[in-house]
Structure 1
Amino acid sequence: MTNVTTIAKEMEEALRADGVRITRQRAALLKVLAGADDHPDANELHRRAREIEDTVSLATVYRTLSALEAQGVVHRLAFEGEPARFETTNAPHHDHIIDLETGEVMEFRSEKIEALQALIAEELGYEVVHHRLELYCRKRK
């Protein structure tokens, strides 16, 4: 089974656990979500899912995304000034750089940043359980 198929199956199981029926429309959306290597918003997911199953409605996309988020298998990313974007939760931890000029979202991981966050939390008497880091940047000229 490919990674996309495995991820889609995990999302399908999460929906079923939430009492959501797996229709052709939802299966198309799950396939698109599982195969996304970017951070699409609901409209883009809708467009891509309709390429597979032309009866997918935007309402189905929103309802399905909400159920997937509630089950913890999809992250809703709310970047400043942008519509919410989505990614599956199966990827290793990473942070994001958002290009303010193009809207492009890039993933990165820095052990230096991770270590510094843990050190700061420890100095204040805490342990990092979860965090999200977003850097809003412009290209240097």
Structure 2
Amino acid sequence: MPSTDAELKKAGLKVTSPRIKILDILKNPNHQHVSAEEVYRILLDQQDEVGLATVYRVLNQFDDAGIVTRHHFEGGRSVFELSEKEHHDHLVCLTCGRVIEFEDNVIERRQLEVAEANNIKLTNHSLYLYGECKKPDTCEYNSADASHHRIEV
């Protein structure tokens, strides 16, 4: 994996302390699908003096440069994840906001079939499935650290 500095330079971005810190947060497996506010809170916890406006600006720059993917899950907030990941879809709990990544070859094939049947060459897609955690003890309602999982079917 290239260094943070190299990634920023490759994306045409100047290497700055806020960009390095924010990219390092996004690389942490415990900080997937995070909002700008969550990144800001993590920076505060680390005693890093980066303002919320700077966090928003850097995440927008990362999105424009293709470093991150912005998702607009239900609930009206944007969350970000690194773009370098393999294609995957998302399950989202409407109660706690937990995001579960999954891959399912049957779903992927079916989407291609639907596109082909409608004479569409599929170039990109995203699938978000919304629901609620089935077990109250697994739902992370009001948790600031909603967990991140990846499953393959």
**Is TM more than 0.5 here?**
yes
* CA distance, structure 1, for counterparts of residue 8 and residue 47 of structure 2: 17
* CA distance, structure 1, for counterparts of residue 84 and residue 6 of structure 2: 10
- 1:26 paired with 2:22, answer no
Unaligned ranges ≥5, structure 1: none
More helix by share: 1
Tell me what 1:35 maps to.
28
Tell me what 2:113 maps to.
119
Deviation at 1:9, TM superposition (A): 4.0
> If the length of structure 1 is used for normalisation, what is the TM-score?
0.84
Q: Is this contact kept in 1: 2:35–2:79, CA < 8 A? A: yes
Deviation at 1:50, TM superposition (A): 3.4
RMSD (Å), alpha carbons: 2.0
Amino acid at match of 2:39: L
- 1:12 paired with 2:8, answer yes
Number of aligned residue pairs: give it: 134
More strand by share: 2
> If the length of structure 2 is used for normalisation, what is the TM-score?
0.78
* CA distance, structure 2, for counterparts of residue 29 and residue 64 of structure 1: 8
Query: Within 5 A, what are the aligned runs for 1:58-77?
Result: 58-77=52-71
Distance 1:10 1:51, change over 3 A: farther
Unaligned ranges ≥5, structure 2: 136-153
Deviations 1:87-113 (A, max 9, x none): 010000000000122210110011010
Distance 1:129 1:88, change over 3 A: same
Amino acid at match of 1:65: L
- 1:85 paired with 2:54, answer no
